[in-house]
Amino acid sequence: MQCYIVQGVITDPQHVHSGVGYYGMSLRESLATFVHPNEIFDGAITVDTTRSGRGYYPTTWDWQNHPLVLRLYTDHGKTLNFAGVILQRIRFETSHGKEVGAQNTAGLAKAMGADGALITWIGGGNAFVDTMFTVRACERLGVKTTLVTYENGGKQGTDSAVLFNVPDADAIVSTGSLDRPVELPAVARTIGPYEQIKIFPFPGAEQVSARNELPLEARDVIIGGADLWGEQSWRCEEF
């Protein structure tokens, strides 16, 4: 079985550079791009984390230690042939853009002989539509897909787990909820120049003590708070 990772990379129309660079070049205007897995480890993909501190934006370190790339390499030549990574720009502002991006990515995977693909993504909201369109396009070309994604679900986990769905997405791996609140305990010592911090570094954001306990409404205000690729050790069993 020949397997690819299809990695949806979010871009923001308010920023010329998406924050994610391939050899320093923005992916904002790119269609699907093939990347050899070794390039991931060698640092071909870098991130400007100053653009956003949201929990669903991985850092450069996360990319260079991508857990799915590492695991597929472990199984390469044994149970599968890990053929490579496809980078896809997501979060187009029009339905036409989303369809073109999805079809282009699926067509590249099919042309390169993929039997299956792990599909992952970065971001939230609008970008997930592009991701699901890509799942649908791959499935309809005969490339079997598994989507790896965090869940939403609301504070109690009773709302819809995903923001948008298609019938073709029948194999989904959850990496945990983004919406569940978090209580960070008080600390005895802080390192840094500030006695107060902003939960979101935006104009008008409320300042809170850097030492006291800190209740957070969701995990996405912590860098790394969203487990995009299964790096963390959360586990769920159904009885």
Domain extents for the chain?
2-180
Lowest mean pLDDT among 99-103, 130-134, 206-210: 206-210
The Cα-based distances of 68 to 23, 55, 215 in angstroms read 21, 18, 31
Amino acid at 82: F
How buried is 141 (Cβ within 10 angstroms: 0-12 exposed, 13-18 middle, 19+ buried)?
A: middle
Segment (H or E) for 69: helix 67-75
Instruction: With cut-offs at 50, 70 and 90, classify the pLDDT of residue 199.
Output: confident
Residue in 153, 171, 173 with CA at minimum distance from that of residue 163: 153
**Separation between Cα atoms, residue 109 and residue 107, nearest integer Å:** 5
* Residue 72 near residue 117 (C-beta atoms within 8 A): no
pLDDT of residue 232: 76
- Does the structure show a pLDDT above 90 at 85? yes
* Residue 121 near residue 149 (C-beta atoms within 8 A): yes
**What would the mean pLDDT of 147-155 be, rounded to a whole number?**
87
**What would the mean pLDDT of 14-20 be, rounded to a whole number?**
61
**What would the mean pLDDT of 126-136 be, rounded to a whole number?**
95
| Percentage of the chain exceeding pLDDT 70 | 90
Question: What is the pTM for the complete model shown?
Answer: 0.87
pLDDT of residue 111: 95
CA 1 to chain CA mean position, Å: 24
- Does the structure show a pLDDT above 60 at 51? no
CATH of range 2-180; options 2.30.30, 3.30.390, 3.40.50, 1.10.3470: 3.40.50
- Does the structure show a pLDDT above 60 at 17? no
Between 44 and 50, the more confident residue is 44
